[in-house]
Chain A
Amino acid sequence: MKLIKSILGWLDDRSGFSDVVMPMLRHVVPDNARWWYVFGSATLCAFAVQVISGIALATTYVPGGEAAYESLLYITNEAPLGNLLRGMHYYGATAMVVLAIIHMTQVFLHAAYKYPRELNWMSGVVLLFVVLGMSFTGQLLRWDANGVWSVTVAAEMAGRAPLVGPVIAHAILGGETVGGSTLTRFFAIHVFVLPGLIFAGVGLHLWLVLRHGISEMPKVDEPVNPATYKEEYEARLEKTGVPFWPIAAWRDAVFSIVVMALIIGCALFFGPPALGTAPDPSDINANPMPDWYFWWYFAILSMLPPQLETFVILGLPVVGLLGLIVVPMFSNKGDRAPSRRPWAVGTVVFGFTALVVLTIYGYKKPWSPDFGVKPLPASLVASSDPAIIHGAELVHQKGCMYCHEVDGYGGHRGPGLSDIGQRLTQPELIIRINNGGYNMPSFAASLTAAELTDMVAFLETRSSSSVRKGSAPSGSHVTE
């Protein structure tokens, strides 16, 4: 016991832990921060999970062409605890993105980014983008069909840039096509470059927290005046501040435990995201989809008019990054209380609503053709006329239902056809099918006259009354 104590004492003296580190841990923080301020430390905790689980995964993962997929299968299905680790790494990533965004929202709502903490905010914004870069590159390392096509999409996006587009696209692919050099670059970026940036960024971020102190809860009668802020802040801390360690830190510890429990819990109960089919760029049955963090962006890209698209693809990330970075340059003094900053609150409400709506939209993908659509059951066709029955078959066979829904069957790209018989007359139907319309191909070349007649005969039977009549025996289909 005594020996251990003296060894520890020696270490402490020679390293300077008590002299240098302890004062940092004990730095005085406002006592009113409480639970509001746990999100930053929880983000750091999630990052630690990523580093540790990532290193473990890297001991088995093979970052090379075909072998990557094999090693992922091994990690998922055979390696002891492999499934758990993949799950931890995935939900740890999820936690990191979510917590970073919550942390940032809290800082924004409380205007903690104002004088003198502008650089805290800016470094945080850069960190957020690096974290998003980690999620994207990480998704690719799950090197299945989805991964291959995600790289392709990323290269195509970059390729839109004028002049330098192809160069950047080929730099992303590591060549002119997806191949042996593609995955290895993303591996290097994901495990060396971006984590290095995060370590540096977190170091700066934490240093700035020490340098400027943690901001207090905003009060209506305490607007920020750069001329006097520091003195006032020091004076208030003198009166009511508490040492971070251990008076304030226990809340961070408690919250981090909750986060850890959620990460491990999700990893155990839901498991990691399933591996898709093998990464074969000639396999055209892939249905590429980004991980959920980017569904909102996916939705935007799908709904934009093509003329604007290139500007948004290239501009949105840049504008987003710069727009967030300059926030403290435009408002670095004055009110901090949300009740005095309706625009800030409005921005957050609007931003989150848009994010949620777009994310749901991105998940549902109403713009994507539904290739798996089943033929219409006889009960819905509800006719014994052979022409109409044939017409119903054709509507499925010719791909109409990939994009048009009939009584709960089919995609949502185009308008539903459940009551098309009421909306369009027979000649109108013929013209529309033959010529196409806005966002609808012309089918004149792929339908014979007899097929067209049958198809129109079927479509004419579609009216809201036929829906009720036809769906009565199998009502459940309508709501499917």
Chain B
Amino acid sequence: MCKKENENFPCAADRRSFLNRLSLALAGLVGAAMSLPPIAYVLSPLLSKPRRKWRDVGGLGEFPIGETKLVKFQDATSTAWAGNTAMTGAWLRRIGEDQFIAFSVNCRHLGCPVRWVNDAKLFMCPCHGGVYYEDGAVAAGPPPEALARYPVRVVDGKVEVETSPIPLTTNDLV
């Protein structure tokens, strides 16, 4: 039989185990209530994808046919304090009257910025020595895939590039 340790000490075993369970359940509930909203908040950037935007990168006249130029434009993000961290670059090449290719500057290996070496007609990556041909195909080094391309269009004599997520090897979004 249950020995009474003091007057208030619950004696019945089932009462004890009930209180035990009740406290654990309530504590779990309190824990969930305080942590779920913050967790959801932290993960929210995953749920709300910013709408892609077309960014003006210059007039048609600025891009001689056959030349590959670095253009800079703002991401789709809308945080006011991002400043220059919201900028993105692309290697833009005019290949026809109003035809363009925009290569992402991100190396397909691990994302470092590739540089266009005009005399060699190659894109080269400073990080682990990835090299791409003029058309973005892998020429040497560790990159597993060709350079990603951004959509480009010409509107009223203006060249526009569409913002895109950073190309990852596992998301062929671009």
CB-nearest residue of chain A to B122? A441
Report Cα–Cα, A288/B112, bound state, in Å: 7
Additional pairs, 15, CB under 8 Å, beyond known A179-B82, A368-B126, A445-B121: A67-B81, A161-B170, A176-B49, A177-B88, A178-B85, A180-B83, A280-B87, A281-B113, A282-B73, A285-B115, A302-B129, A371-B124, A371-B126, A398-B119, A399-B124
Residue B111 CB within 8 A of the other chain: yes
- 12 A-B pairs within 8 Å (CB atoms) are namely A65-B84, A160-B168, A176-B164, A179-B79, A286-B126, A301-B128, A301-B142, A402-B117, A436-B139, A436-B140, A442-B133, A446-B119
Contact B119 A399 (CB under 8 A): yes
B residues touching A (Cβ–Cβ < 8 Å)? 42-43, 45-46, 49-50, 70, 72-73, 75-77, 79-89, 105-106, 109-115, 117, 119-122, 124-129, 131, 133-134, 139-144, 163-166, 168-171
A174, A278, A399: the one contacting B122 at CB < 8 Å is A399
CB-nearest residue of chain B to A369? B124
Residues of B within 8 A of A173 (CB): 45, 166
Residues of B within 8 A of A40 (CB): none
Known: A159-B170, A170-B45. A282 touches B126 (CB 8 A): no
Count of chain A residues with Cβ under 8 Å from any Cβ of B?
Answer: 70
Residue A440 CB within 8 A of the other chain: yes
Contact A371 B46 (CB under 8 A): no
Report Cα–Cα, A287/B133, bound state, in Å: 20
A65, A304, A436: the one contacting B82 at CB < 8 Å is A65
Contact A367 B168 (CB under 8 A): no
Min CB distance B46 to A, Å, is: 5
Residue A27 CB within 8 A of the other chain: no
Contact B80 A166 (CB under 8 A): no
Residues of A within 8 A of B73 (CB): 282
Min CB distance B64 to A, Å, is: 18
Contact B110 A301 (CB under 8 A): yes
Residue A254 CB within 8 A of the other chain: no
Interface class of chain B by DSSP: loop
Contact B120 A286 (CB under 8 A): no
Contact A302 B115 (CB under 8 A): no
Residue A149 CB within 8 A of the other chain: yes
Contact B142 A446 (CB under 8 A): no
Instruction: Sort A-B residue pairs by CB-CB distance and give the 6 closest, nearest first.
Output: A66-B83, A180-B79, A180-B82, A176-B165, A441-B139, A282-B89
A177, A287, A445: the one contacting B75 at CB < 8 Å is A177
Contact B122 A66 (CB under 8 A): no
Interface residues of A in 373-421 (CB under 8 A from B): 397-400, 402-403, 413
Min CB distance B103 to A, Å, is: 11
Contact B77 A177 (CB under 8 A): yes
Min CB distance B147 to A, Å, is: 13
Residue A349 CB within 8 A of the other chain: no
Residues of B within 8 A of A278 (CB): 84
Contact B50 A283 (CB under 8 A): no
Min CB distance A362 to B, Å, is: 11
Contact A176 B50 (CB under 8 A): yes
Min CB distance B57 to A, Å, is: 11
Contact A160 B169 (CB under 8 A): yes
Contact B77 A149 (CB under 8 A): no
Report Cα–Cα, A281/B106, bound state, in Å: 10
Known: A368-B129, A441-B131. A169 touches B81 (CB 8 A): no
Min CB distance B36 to A, Å, is: 17
Contact B117 A182 (CB under 8 A): no
Contact B129 A445 (CB under 8 A): no
Contact with B along A266-286 (1 / 0, CB 8 A): 000000000000111111111
Known: A166-B171, A180-B77. A288 touches B127 (CB 8 A): yes
Report Cα–Cα, A222/B153, bound state, in Å: 78
Min CB distance A300 to B, Å, is: 11
Contact A153 B72 (CB under 8 A): no
Min CB distance A308 to B, Å, is: 10
B83, B87, B143, B164: the one contacting A282 at CB < 8 Å is B87
Residues of A within 8 A of B87 (CB): 280-282
Residues of A within 8 A of B127 (CB): 153, 287-288, 302, 368
